């Protein structure tokens, strides 16, 4: 009998016990119930496995998986662990071919994870080999369901997960489609090791309250348009969200010029503002859209800087943040250069993102010895629904609602 | 310029560049570059794949000045400083006043808490102009060996 007090005694989702970030037991439970449960995890961009036979090594939670486009064009995937001795079947970034062989003893799989060949299965000259009752078909790797939506490839271990588009829901699907509106190409990768639990990063992404308080680049250089309108949209489950804002386009430009003038006089204008000269390529005036899909995916548009962020837990106290920067296939040279410049805003050294690395570390160190203490997430009330203000923490409460349900906490 | 003198000139430039960063004289950092210039921090992975996005990019002194002002006045990060360890500079090519060099670096990062750790290793692929009184970087490409950055990269490499 387990007589310990419950980890999360209070109802609701506005008081979060710090133990959810610190418990090794919770970390194990998350792997089963969140990542390997009926959720969809982002795996890669469609264009990274564009051709039949293309495959890539990636992760669902911290579980290594291979995602592949089979020779017939269908998407699939499987756990990246050899049936024999547990080695990574694909220890590289990826490759192309109808079969993948484990380097250790050459056990070979097709792109659906079926074991197709075992070297010396019948032994050598009648000696050795596998037992008579060994059947390769019993040892297929755990398969993923893989689906793509608008150029984004997701996978799930759960046979009972809803179809991807149903999981995303119409509102989130619409905001994904808004950004992923034509074929994309990768412009670069970065990896950032965050010294904190994965949920701290995810909750930071979903926290619209901190943006103008912690990330001071835009305010310092007077790049904020104060009348910027925006909103928070949370899907029906509570697990996904979109936060967006528009630099007001309807304001008389004289106001804006006056603002720029003040910045120049105060000595707080950028010496080279070419980086932030946004081009309204989506035609709707939205200059910032941060979208998250439960559990670990973020799609970001900050002006013309477009990224996917894949959040990979690396133990309970460490997280790897994988940034994939992309543009559109039809970008000309000038547009690519513009995106390269705007990439300065985000990533491990980004003007409006480097603080996110710092605060995770501050929180992890701050909650040492926190006992039964808990986070207080009550900006904008205790509900988790969409709100038309960004002075709210409702997307965090939506996350914790779904999290509690899945963990059974 | 004779070869020995050239070697001395480019190595002294690299040493002065690293010292300015390590001594927190970041305001002097843009002065090591021509106008226009090109400075980029990029991982070996992206560099090898010819992918254009790195960790930081500038093609004007103004963008370098903005980086320093943002670090000073806008960005929030734990106090830290660097210690650069540079290899001897290898002159790869030399055409008139333009010199192409490679210098390997290690940057040790020391945080306010006291942790001393290897933060980045890699190579500087530089285009140096030696025609004026002071040699300047027309281009400095910082190619980091690892694809991973620990926590954040604030101060330039």
Rounded to two decimals, the ipTM of the complex is 0.96
Residue with tokens 């070297």: A119
CATH code for the domain in which residue B103 is found: 3.10.450.50
* Structure tokens given for A108: 């070979």
Range(s) of chain A covered by CATH 2.102.10.10: 41-147
Helical residues (DSSP H) of A86-149, grouped into ranges = none
Q: What is the mean pLDDT of residues A245-271?
A: 66
Contacts of A343 (CB under 8 A, 6+ apart): A187, A188, A305, A325, A350, B53, B54, B57
Q: Tell me which chain B residues have a C-beta less than 8 angstroms from the C-beta of A188.
A: 42, 46, 51-54
Confidence of residue A257 (pLDDT cuts 50, 70, 90): low
pLDDT of residue A225: 55
CATH of domain A169-407: 3.90.380.10
Q: Quick count: other Cβ atoms within 10 Å of Cβ B143?
A: 21
Give, in degrees to the nearest 5, the angle at Cα A285 between A280 and A286.
100
Q: Which of A195, A275, A349 sits opposite B154 (nearest CB)?
A: A349
- CB A271 to CB B65 under 8 A? yes
* Structure tokens given for A156: 């799930």
Distances (CA, A) of B14 to A76, B18, B125, B126: 50, 6, 11, 10
Residue B35, H or E segment:
strand B33-43
Domain residue limits at B96:
3-144
Nearest CA in chain A to B77: A358
Asked if residues B156 and B18 have their Cβ atoms less than 8 Å apart, the reply is no
Q: What is the mean pLDDT of residues B25-31?
A: 98
pLDDT of residue A146: 98
pLDDT of residue A261: 64
pLDDT in tens, A348-400: 999 999 999 899 999 999 999 888 899 999 999 999 998 887 788 999 999 99
Q: What is the pTM of this model?
A: 0.95
Q: Which of A188, A214, A354 sits opposite B53 (nearest CB)?
A: A188
To the nearest whole angstrom, how far is the Cα of A402 from the nearest Cα of chain B? 28
pLDDT-wise least confident of A4-18, A324-338, B72-86:
A4-18
- CB A358 to CB B152 under 8 A? yes
pLDDT in tens, A195-214: 999 999 999 999 988 887 88
Nearest CA in chain A to B119: A193
3-state secondary structure of A245: strand
Nearest CA in chain A to B54: A188
Q: Is B110 exposed, middle or buried (0-12, 13-18, 19+ CB in 10 A)?
A: middle
- CA torsion sign for A2, A398, A41, B47 is negative
CATH of domain A41-147: 2.102.10.10
Q: What is the mean pLDDT of residues A144-173?
A: 97
**What does the buried/exposed string (b/e) look like for A222-231 if buried means 16 or more CB atoms within 10 Å of the residue's CB?**
bbebeebebe
C-alpha span between A42 and A294 (Å, rounded): 10
Q: What is the mean pLDDT of residues B134-140?
A: 97
Q: Tell me which chain A residues have a C-beta less than 8 angstroms from the C-beta of B118.
A: none
Q: Which residues of A touch B (CB under 8 A)?
A: 186-195, 214, 216-217, 219-221, 268, 270-272, 274-275, 320, 325, 336-337, 339-341, 343-344, 347-349, 351, 354-355, 357-358, 361-362
C-alpha span between A156 and A179 (Å, rounded): 23
pLDDT-wise least confident of A57-71, A222-236, A267-281, B124-138:
A222-236
Q: What percent of chain B has pLDDT over 90?
A: 94
Q: What is the mean pLDDT of residues A322-332?
A: 98
Q: What is the mean pLDDT of residues A92-112?
A: 97
Pairwise pLDDT comparison (B114 vs B146), residue with the higher score: B146
Give, in degrees to the nearest 5, the angle at Cα A238 between A234 and A244.
20
Report the DSSP beta bridge partners of residue A241.
Answer: A234, A292
- CB B153 to CB A272 under 8 A? no
Q: What are phi and psi of B106, to 5 degrees?
A: -125, 135
Confidence of residue A250 (pLDDT cuts 50, 70, 90): very low
Chains A, B: CB contacts within 8 A come to 125
Asked if residues B106 and B40 have their Cβ atoms less than 8 Å apart, the reply is no
pLDDT-wise least confident of A1-15, A100-114, A251-265, B13-27:
A251-265
Q: What is the mean pLDDT of residues A1-14?
A: 82
Mean pLDDT over the full length of chain B: 96
pLDDT-wise least confident of A211-220, A312-321, A363-372, B27-36:
A211-220
C-alpha span between A161 and A406 (Å, rounded): 13
pLDDT of residue A264: 63
Count of domains observed in chain B? 1
Confidence of residue A263 (pLDDT cuts 50, 70, 90): low
């Amino acid at each position: 009998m387990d007589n310990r007090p419950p980890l999360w005694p209070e109802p609701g989702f506005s008081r979060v016990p710090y133990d959810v970030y610190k418990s090794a037991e919770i970390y194990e439970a998350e792997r089963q119930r969140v990542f390997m449960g009926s959720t969809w995890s982002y795996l890669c961009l469609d264009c990274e496995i564009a051709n039949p036979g293309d495959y890539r090594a990636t992760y669902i939670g911290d579980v290594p998986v291979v995602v592949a486009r089979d020779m017939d064009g269908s998407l699939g995937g499987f756990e990246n662990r050899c049936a024999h001795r547990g080695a990574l079947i694909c220890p590289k970034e990826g490759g192309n071919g109808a079969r993948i062989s484990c380097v250790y003893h050459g056990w070979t799989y097709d792109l659906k994870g079926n074991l197709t060949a075992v070297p010396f299965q019948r032994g050598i000259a009648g000696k050795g080999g596998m037992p008579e009752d060994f059947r390769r078909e019993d040892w297929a790797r755990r398969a993923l369901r893989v689906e793509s939506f608008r150029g984004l490839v997701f996978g799930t271990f759960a046979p009972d997960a809803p179809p991807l588009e149903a999981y995303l829901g119409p509102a989130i699907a619409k905001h994904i489609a808004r950004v992923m509106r034509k074929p994309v190409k990768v412009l670069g990768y970065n990896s950032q090791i965050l010294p904190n639990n994965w949920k701290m990063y995810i909750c930071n992404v979903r926290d619209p309250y901190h943006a103008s308080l912690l990330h001071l680049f835009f305010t310092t250089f007077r790049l904020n348009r104060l009348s910027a309108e925006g909103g928070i949209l949370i899907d029906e489950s509570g697990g996904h969200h979109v936060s967006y804002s528009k630099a007001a386009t309807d304001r008389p430009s004289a106001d804006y010029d006056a603002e720029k003038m003040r910045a120049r006089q105060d000595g707080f204008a950028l010496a080279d503002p070419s980086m932030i000269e946004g081009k309204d390529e989506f035609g709707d005036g939205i200059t910032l859209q941060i979208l998250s899909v439960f559990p670990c995916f973020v799609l970001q548009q900050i002006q013309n800087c477009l990224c996917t962020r894949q959040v990979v837990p690396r133990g309970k106290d460490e997280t790897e943040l994988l940034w994939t920067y992309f543009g559109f296939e039809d970008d000309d040279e000038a547009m690519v250069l513009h995106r390269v410049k705007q990439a300065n805003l985000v990533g491990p050294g980004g003007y409006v993102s480097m603080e996110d690395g710092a605060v995770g570390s501050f929180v992890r160190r701050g909650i040492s010895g926190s006992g039964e203490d808990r986070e207080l997430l009550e900006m904008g009330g205790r509900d988790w629904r969409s709100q038309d203000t960004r002075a709210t923490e409702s997307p965090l409460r939506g996350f914790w609602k779904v999290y509690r349900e899945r963990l059974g906490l | 310029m004779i070869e020995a003198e050239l070697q001395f000139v480019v190595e002294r430039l690299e040493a002065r560049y690293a010292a300015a960063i390590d001594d927190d004289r970041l305001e002097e950092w843009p002065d090591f570059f021509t106008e226009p210039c090109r400075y980029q921090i990029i991982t070996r992975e992206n560099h090898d794949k010819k992918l254009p996005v790195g960790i930081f990019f500038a093609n004007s002194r103004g963008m370098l000045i903005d980086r320093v002002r943002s670090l000073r006045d806008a960005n929030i990060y734990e106090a830290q400083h660097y210690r650069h360890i540079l290899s001897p500079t290898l002159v790869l090519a030399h055409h008139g006043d333009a010199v192409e060099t490679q210098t390997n670096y290690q940057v040790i990062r020391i945080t306010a808490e006291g942790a001393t750790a290897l933060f980045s290793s890699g190579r500087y692929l530089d285009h140096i102009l030696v025609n004026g009184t002071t040699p300047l970087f027309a281009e400095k490409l910082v190619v980091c060996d690892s694809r991973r950055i620990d926590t954040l990269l604030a101060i330039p490499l």
